[in-house]
Structure 1
């Protein structure tokens, strides 16, 4: 007899990766309830009861209803933010806070649910300083890194290393002349540093003299490694110039990956490594909600099946 418990997929309406996973689950006969928390309360509603027996109740979308006590797994992707455009600024802030701690609190404590990943664990793992420290503790090689708001400290760090790059600590939505953009990774010199550095926190990191990049996607106990060859400092700036080759992770890397995942209590992670000319893998970052599906058609690696197995709770 098939398991009637649904998988909740929490993401925005336009999410091609979620579409692929949902299609795979449908083909397996696994019930799916898709929702965007940003639709609350306009077209998404919740009634959650908390008693001595725990949490129970229902979540309603325009086309589906989920029993909160019987959710098999929750796949947390990229939902939109809560918004209350009909309210004034003060009331909207209040309503957003209530929605976050109300609906968000319910979704974060579903009984017996497997989270891929839990939204609180995603939040923890998105802090780059925490990720770098955890990576070093897990056994990865980590490039020397400075996080500072001091122009003098930045200049001293750059002078002390042969080549240094600047990275944003996080990339929020950013618009230049009305066009969506991101702050790019770039090489910097001491002469580039001025007093504006004092305006906020910045991340400077010694540049790894890399031979290639590797993207590692960890899905439960499965590890998928893809070598990415290009002539780019940051391969994400131009996908048309990339070539892909499946590779195996060295034994030490595999063990460190699992240690890192366990420290943050993640079951999914998209890791980026720079591999130097001696073959050493240098940890750059782990995105707990990173993109992965574009690699499957390029390599044939069965990542979608592995993720569906996880959400179906076969693994």
Structure 2
């Protein structure tokens, strides 16, 4: 049985899992839907009460009935590289590829329907709170007056995109930024704005979840000096410590498992901030988040955990002792 990985050609995070799958002798097909049609082709037949589908990539043809799992990592938009690319061809290619894959018995990491819902930041915040995770006071609004009133209640705020996407280039990240004192919030009327109470950080936490396995890493912030507790977005900061493995508090672990169950996710990369009292505050869950940088810095075998989940190993409640990370 074959593992199918849908991702871009240059994806170091996916490479780590592919290495592990190859080491275990698990067949892998890796393709980017952006190359459909042309570099990637599909065919499906419904006849005599049965479905027979096939994929072709890199000269290799694979039966869809032989797929054991599908990892939707960072796939491109179907037909994006086609010679006659168009919105119509994209929709046709999307319907064909993902519609056929839904006809298989393969396990998904993550299923496209669950992944689509999981991207909505407002829903993430609601679900995190419902599962028992601390969430900073947050407002999403197009009303300047509502923003001003929120700022009166929480004078120390940050602003970030609701979607996380860059307005000019979806491949770029927009840094979370502190709101200036005295902001009048008139520009809020031009588009939904996410304001959130700033948590005074002791550290950033990245919690990577693979099935029931949890891998937590912590990047400490300076306790004193000019940069003490001033880091807003760890992705754009130099004044933070290296990522080191840490145990997951049992209450947080239980809440995260509940989140993944309700969201129907097999994989999630959670971002928390740890405050000066040691509380982990939920910021977001990226259902296709990177783990390569965490594995490189901490030595945590996240790629191996992903490979084993895709291969159908240790997907239940009792992973190997060495892979557990809760306290």
- TM-score of the superposed pair, with normalisation by structure 1: 0.90
Structure 1 SS opposite 2:74: coil
Identify which of 71, 86, 102 aligns with 2:96. 102
**Superposed CA offset, 1:182-214 (max 9, x none):** 321011146334432111111111111221111
In 2, are the aligned partners of 1:158 and 1:190 still within 8 Å (CA)?
no
Structure 2 SS opposite 1:192: coil
Structure 2 SS opposite 1:19: helix
**Following superposition of structure 1 onto structure 2, how do residues 15-54 of structure 1 map, counting pairs within 5 Å?**
15-51=11-47, 53-54=49-50
The match for 2:117 is 124
Q: Which structure 1 residue ranges, 4+ long, deviate > 4 Å from structure 2?
A: 84-88, 173-176
The match for 1:269 is 268
> Between Structure 1 and Structure 2, how many residues are aligned?
304
In 1, are the aligned partners of 2:53 and 2:100 still within 8 Å (CA)?
no
Identify which of 72, 75, 95 aligns with 2:71. 75
**Superposed CA offset, 1:124-170 (max 9, x none):** 10100000000011110111110101111111111111311101112
Deviation at 1:48, TM superposition (A): 1.2
Unaligned runs of 5+ in 2: 223-230, 315-327
Q: What is the rounded CA distance, in whole Å, between the counterparts of 1:153 and 1:25 in structure 2?
A: 51
Change over 3 Å in CA distance of 1:57–1:86 after alignment to 2: closer
2:8 equivalent to 1:12 = yes
The match for 2:215 is 224
Structure 2 SS opposite 1:191: coil
- TM-score of the superposed pair, with normalisation by structure 2: 0.87
Q: What is the rounded CA distance, in whole Å, between the counterparts of 1:173 and 1:101 in structure 2?
A: 27
Deviation at 1:289, TM superposition (A): 0.3
